[in-house]
Structures are given as C-alpha cells and as structure tokens.
Amino acid sequence: MQLDESEDVLKEQSEYIEYVRSWNDEYYRKNNRRRKAFCLTMGCQMNAHDSEKLVGYLEDMGYEMTNAEKGADFVIYNTCCIRANAEEKVYGRLGWLKTYKHKHPDVIIAMCGCMVQQDTVMEQIRRTYNFVDVIFGTFNLYTFPKLLATRIQSGSSVYDIWTKSKKIVESMSAMREHKFKASVNIMYGCNNFCSYCIVPYVRGRERSRKPEDIIKEVEALAAEGVKEVMLLGQNVNSYGKTLENPVSFAELLRMVNEVDGIERIRFMTSHPKDLSDELIAAMRDCDKVCNYLHLPVQSGSSRVLEKMNRRYTKEKYLELVDKIKKEIPDILISTDIIVGFPGETEEDFKETLDVVDRVGYSTAFTFLYSKREGTPAAKMDNQIDEETAKERFNRLLEHVNSGVEKISETLVGTVENVLVEEINRQDKTMVTGRTERNSLVHFKGGEELIGQVVPVKITQNKIFYLIGERM
C-alpha cells in the first residue's frame, strides 16, 4: 500500500476521533470527570501491540484509561483463540459484563481480536451476548474510531468483521507500555497452516511491511528514547518474500542494526523450516541483535511433525540448533511445545523429551494440544485423552525445568547487561530487568535505573529468575 493511501485512511479516522473526543469532552464539562476505558488483552505479543494501538486511539478520543473493569464506561476485550481455554475465559467474563451492562446501560462494550474472526463465535455472540456494542476483527483495527463513532451516533450495535485485506496502514499511533522498549510489526498473517493452528484462518495471509516504513518507525522510536525493539511477525523468517522488491529478514535485521540509539534488537517468531544461514550470519554479525532465539519445536517426533505440517524433522531441527550454537556459542534458545497432538504415542512423546534434553532450552512454553474447529488436526483420528496428555505434560515440565536449571546455573558468576524494566513487585528495594539473552534478573536498585542498561553480576540461580548485584 502507498503511504498516501495510509494518510487517507488515517485522515478519515481522525474525523471520527474528533467526533468521539467532543462527545467525551462534553461529558467532562457536565460531570467533571472523564469517561473511563478498560482494555483487556489476551494472547500473544501481536495482540499486546494491537492493544497499544487501541489505547492510543482511546486516549486520543478523550477517554481516561483505567485498570478496573468495574466502574469503566467503555470496555474492550482484545481476544485470542489459539487454545480453547482463552475463549472460555472470554465467555466467562462476558457473563459478568452482561450483568454489569444491565445495571449500567450507558456502558459501551467492544470486542476485537482473533476470536471474533470465527463464524461460530459470531453466531454465539449474536445468540447469547448481543449486548456487545462494537465488534471488529484483526484486519480492520484501524477503523475502530469510525465504528465507535457510528455506535454513539446510532445507538445500535456495530459489527464489522473482514475476512481479508491486503491493506497495511502505516503511522498509526500507539500508547506504548514502556518508554524504553517497543514492539514493531514487520509482517502480518501466516501462510504455514500448521495443522493444529487457527492463526492462518483468523489473521489471514502473510503481508510484509516495506523495510523503509519499518526503519522509519524504528528511527522515530529511537528518537523518543526507545532502546530495545522487538520485531514482530508470526513467522519473521519469511519476511519480505511478498514485497514488490523482496528483502530478506536477514537484510532487514542488518538495516535495523544501523539505527542510532537502538541498543537491542529482538524478534519473534522464527519458524525452523525458514531459518537461513544468512539469518544466522546476520545474528552473529549485528552487535545489537540479542543472542537469544525463540525457535518453536512443537514436537520432537518426526512422525508427529509431519502430521503437524511443520516441514522439518527432528534431525533437521537438531542440526539447525547445532549450526546456530556453533556460530553464536553463547546463544540461549527458547521454544514452544505441544503435548497430546492427535495420534501422539509414548514413543513420539519420548522423542520430544529427547529434544528437550539435548537442546537445553533457557525457557520452554508448554501447551496441552487444544482442538480448534476448522483446522485439519481437529478431524484427525486418535485424539489423545486428557489424562494421558496431562500426565505427559507433567513429565515434560520436569525435563524442561531441569534443563532450565542447568542453563541458569551456567549464568551464575557472569556479568550481564540488564535493561531495567520496573521496581520489583515483591521487594521494593529491588529492580527487575532482562539480560540481553532474555533472563529475568532481580537486583538491589531504585527507580532511577528504570530504562537504563546496567552491568549486573549474577550471584544466584533461582531457576526461573536470577539474583544479581550491580557492578
């Protein structure tokens, strides 16, 4: 999409922002309080970043953000549907909202995100939760001001779900959670169709932003004092393939590495099938790119991987890990693992344990397989019973934890540069931050350190976090 097209889109929205803003200003003049907005975010970093954009809009529209749902005049749920429990949580909360809205009919309720991209969910909402005022999906987040303004003007519900769009809207403002670190979308959607995954159906086909737009955003963030950027995409390794002038992710990393003021570059998620030698070389060469890689394996069994449509084998994955460790010896690797995929046998599961033991992950996100209607895996035979899956899950955790403990032990005695994020929640005399390799560290320090990168000597291994002393 051309930038002038983005400008048109944003100009149109700005008229609606103005409209809602004056509606809210008038309320403020009459009541001496601002209408409050509450935003609940579920799911991945992509959603978290979308919520930053929503909050940016809400503040521009004259709302005051609140952390308390009760008492809010506007409530939005930015939903996730990757596993069934994420959806169940939303339905549970909608039950509460129904009563809340009954008591406070002026409250406006909105839903967006991945969950509402599914027809079955929309049917359910129309049937049972028709008190929801505004609904939009993952393709038209930028139309939120228009939809809200329409709801305010008309008094009736506005549901607008798109099933596809190639449009990428540039220059949307976002209210960042942190001043010193920021997420940057580099691409949207996914073309991989892993057989268990709903994402390609709710986020559509892969579309990459142009490198010049990405660099412009990163430069603007650096000018505002951001030190760490997280480049986001469902599968960053296939970045740029669909651009008019194709650019590889490795090339993009090298460009971002040149931006003055940025000290750390992270990215997620990498699909092992597309992780090129060129990317490994870029990670090795670029001083700002963190020596940390999230490399989801999903299963250690080549048989299961094939049924998952992952397009690599256990051997290929392990070879890749070896190659990365050889080029970047101090790298830490994390992963995602699914337990209980249809047809997974005890032997298959043992292969997963073997991969965990051999790779030595610094973190592993472990999930019980969740059947998602509409995906190929939902129709596969031999769905695993809950008891077996849970028992395997617990055994997997033991292996993961012992691997994490070993990795953390190797960090004791090292000096790590820690980007301080916040005052420790339990002990106010301490601060919490992350090392370049993404380990969580607590050490004695005060508020003035927030946003600074400071050298810290690691003194204790607490498995899931480290204790250190400022050098």
Contacts with ligand SF4, residue ranges (CB under 6 A): 190, 192-194, 197, 199-200, 234-235, 271
Coil, strand, or helix at residue 463? Answer: coil
Q: How far is the CB of 371 from ligand 5AD (least distance, A)?
A: 7
Q: How far is the CB of 84 from ligand 5AD (least distance, A)?
A: 8
Residue 338 lies near ligand 5AD (rule: CB under 6 A): yes
Coil, strand, or helix at residue 73? Answer: coil
> How many angstroms from the chain centroid is the CA of residue 196?
18
CB contact set of 306 (below 8 Å; sequence gap of 6+): 313
367: partner contacted, choices ligand 5AD, ligand SF4, none (Cβ within 5-8 A by kind): ligand 5AD
User: In the numeric block, which tokens belong to residue 202?
Assistant: 């709710």
CB contact set of 208 (below 8 Å; sequence gap of 6+): 186, 187, 233, 239, 240, 241, 242, 243
Cα(420)–Cα(44) distance, integer angstroms: 22
Cα(50)–Cα(376) distance, integer angstroms: 28
In the bound state with ligand 5AD, the residue whose beta carbon lies nearer, of 150 and 191, is 191
Q: Judged by CB under 6 A, which of 136, 369, 393, 443 binds ligand 5AD?
A: 369
Type of residue found at 325: K
**DSSP-derived pairing of the beta strands 440-444 and 430-435:** antiparallel
Coil, strand, or helix at residue 341? Answer: coil
In the bound state with ligand SF4, the residue whose beta carbon lies nearer, of 13 and 79, is 79
Residue 361 lies near ligand 5AD (rule: CB under 6 A): no
In the bound state with ligand SF4, the residue whose beta carbon lies nearer, of 21 and 271, is 271
Q: How many alpha carbons lie under 13 Å from residue 108 in its C-beta half-sphere?
A: 23
234: partner contacted, choices ligand 5AD, ligand SF4, none (Cβ within 5-8 A by kind): ligand SF4
Type of residue found at 9: V
Residue facing ligand 5AD at closest CB distance: 336
190: partner contacted, choices ligand 5AD, ligand SF4, none (Cβ within 5-8 A by kind): ligand SF4
Q: How far is the CB of 109 from ligand 5AD (least distance, A)?
A: 27
- Phi and psi angles of residue 64, each rounded to the nearest 5 degrees, phi first: -105, 130
Site for ligand 5AD in 281-300 (CB under 6 A): 296, 298
60: partner contacted, choices ligand SF4, ligand 5AD, none (Cβ within 5-8 A by kind): none
Nearest Cα neighbor of 330 from 251, 436, 460, 404 is 436
CB contact set of 237 (below 8 Å; sequence gap of 6+): 249, 270, 271, 274, 275, 276, 279
Q: How far is the CB of 271 from ligand SF4 (least distance, A)?
A: 5
Asked if 396 and 356 count as a contact pair (C-beta separation under 8 A), the reply is yes
Site string for ligand 5AD, 155-194 (x = CB under 6 A): ----------------------------------------
420: partner contacted, choices ligand SF4, ligand 5AD, none (Cβ within 5-8 A by kind): none
Distance, first Cα to last Cα, the chain: 49
169: partner contacted, choices ligand 5AD, ligand SF4, none (Cβ within 5-8 A by kind): none
Q: Judged by CB under 6 A, which of 35, 372, 399, 434 binds ligand 5AD?
A: 372
Segment near ligand 5AD (CB under 6 A), from 32-40, 256-264, 303-311, 364-372? 364-372
Instruction: State the Cα angle at 413 between 408 and 415, rounded to 5°.
Output: 95
Binding site for ligand 5AD (CB under 6 A): 82-83, 196-197, 296, 298, 336, 338, 367, 369-370, 372
